[in-house]
Structure 1
Amino acid sequence: MTTVALYLRSREVPAGVLCAVPAMVAVAWLGSGPAESRHAVTAAALAVALGVAVLGHGLGGPDSTLDATAAIRWAPRRALHLAAILVVAAAVVAIVTTAPVAVVLRDAAGFTGLAALAAALFGRRLAWTLPVVTGCVSAGIPAVPEPFALYLLTWAGQPPDSPVALTTALIFAVAGAAMYVTRGPARPAPL
């Protein structure tokens, strides 16, 4: 087997893709409606959050000690893995949804960064937590400009022309990617 195939298999990526793609398609398709409607944007955000959460499980291998001590350069592999998650989630949802592509790309970048941040802080098994919580908050609370803290929390469900949402997504993307690429997934505490 090639190095790439071994890497993907050790991260359970094929199984993740088989689960994530149909789930994203179903959520995005069920939520499609008039373009740029709140319903379409919310469904696209939930679909991206779900896909990134499932694919985020592969941000670490089953043996975190091996990942931390291996004599290979992990940073390029981790960065490429994050980029692949972003591209897959954005492409699948953008094909199915009626929400603007800018919203899908913004949300995919932000949710991927949140998954990377969760993996670096809590480990690969909990990499799903931050994307799912943020996606549910954005879907459950309308994106209103006041109070500002609530506006920040609902960044994923905001319209495509929102500079606050774009800035928040970019901050999550850069911070999460930087932390995950440099540190890798957190190791679970010994029993």
Structure 2
Amino acid sequence: MLSLRLVTLYTRSRFVPAALAATVAGTLGAAALDTADLRLLSILIGLGVSAGVVGLGGADVQLERTGAISWQTWRLCHLVIVIAVVTGLTVAAGLGTFGIILRDTAGLTGLGALSATVLGSQLAWVAPFVWCAIAAVFPIADEEALMWMIQPTQSGTATAVASVLGVVGAGVYLSRGPRG
């Protein structure tokens, strides 16, 4: 059984309070704008996911790898919680439809997890946020696969890209962990 102390230590070492504060602040700011623009929604989701994926690795990854803890379970829980919190806050603020929010959050979280594995947890935020920012600022109308986060719910291509990023990113992160 998990002790509250262990969970508290984990959340502090993974910057969870700061990530949650940034996500809540971003969501409240976007809700104050009162717009249904998919580009703003993608940037908001990118901000929330970016804040959450920075904590995918601790301060000393090599030390964590020597521990007798099943890190795959902790990693999976961390990814699921990032998706749940960002999706829940965004839906609660009424900023978009559940389908788009969940699709974008899951895909960007997978991309962040892949970034943590390749670049390290300190730079895990770069890929999800930059991709969202580029898609929002420089949208290309006929590139549905590259601009998947700003596509409507019924876009099969956007759903496929988000699914692949989510599954592959999570799978690589769960098996290898963050870059040390």
C-alpha contact 1:143 1:155 (8 A) present in aligned 2: no
TM-score (norm 1): 0.87
C-alpha contact 1:29 1:97 (8 A) present in aligned 2: no
Q: Secondary structure in 2 aligned to 1:151?
A: coil
Instruction: Output the CA distance in 2 between the equivalents of 1:57 and 1:76.
Output: 18
Counterpart of 1:156 in structure 2 is 149
Residue 27 (str. 1) matches residue 24 (str. 2): no
C-alpha contact 2:14 2:55 (8 A) present in aligned 1: yes
Count of aligned residue pairs for this structure pair: 177
Instruction: Output the CA distance in 2 between the equivalents of 1:46 and 1:94.
Output: 15
1:142 offset after TM fit, Å? 3.2
1:4 offset after TM fit, Å? 0.8
User: CA RMSD, aligned part only?
Assistant: 1.5
1:69 offset after TM fit, Å? 1.7
Residues 5-24 of structure 1 aligned to structure 2 (within 5 Å):
5-24=8-27
Instruction: Output the CA distance in 1 between the equivalents of 2:112 and 2:17.
Output: 18
1:183 to 167, 176, 179: 176
Counterpart of 2:109 in structure 1 is 112
Residues 1-191 of structure 1 aligned to structure 2 (within 5 Å):
2-30=5-33, 32-33=35-36, 39=37, 41-142=38-139, 144=141, 146=142, 150-187=143-180
Query: Bigger CA drift: 169-178 or 41-50?
Result: 41-50
Query: Bigger CA drift: 11-20 or 56-65?
Result: 11-20
- Tell me, which stretches of 5 or more residues in structure 1 are unaligned? 34-38
1:31 offset after TM fit, Å? 5.4
TM-score (norm 2): 0.92
1:108 offset after TM fit, Å? 0.5
Instruction: Output the CA distance in 1 between the equivalents of 2:177 and 2:32.
Output: 34
Q: Secondary structure in 2 aligned to 1:156?
A: helix
- Tell me, which stretches of 5 or more residues in structure 2 are unaligned? none
C-alpha contact 1:31 1:43 (8 A) present in aligned 2: no
Percent of residue pairs bearing the same amino acid type: 35
1:28 offset after TM fit, Å? 4.6
Q: Are the structure 2 counterparts of residues 31 and 174 from structure 1 closer, same or farther at C-alpha, using a change threshold of 3 Å?
A: farther
Instruction: Output the CA distance in 1 between the equivalents of 2:137 and 2:32.
Output: 19
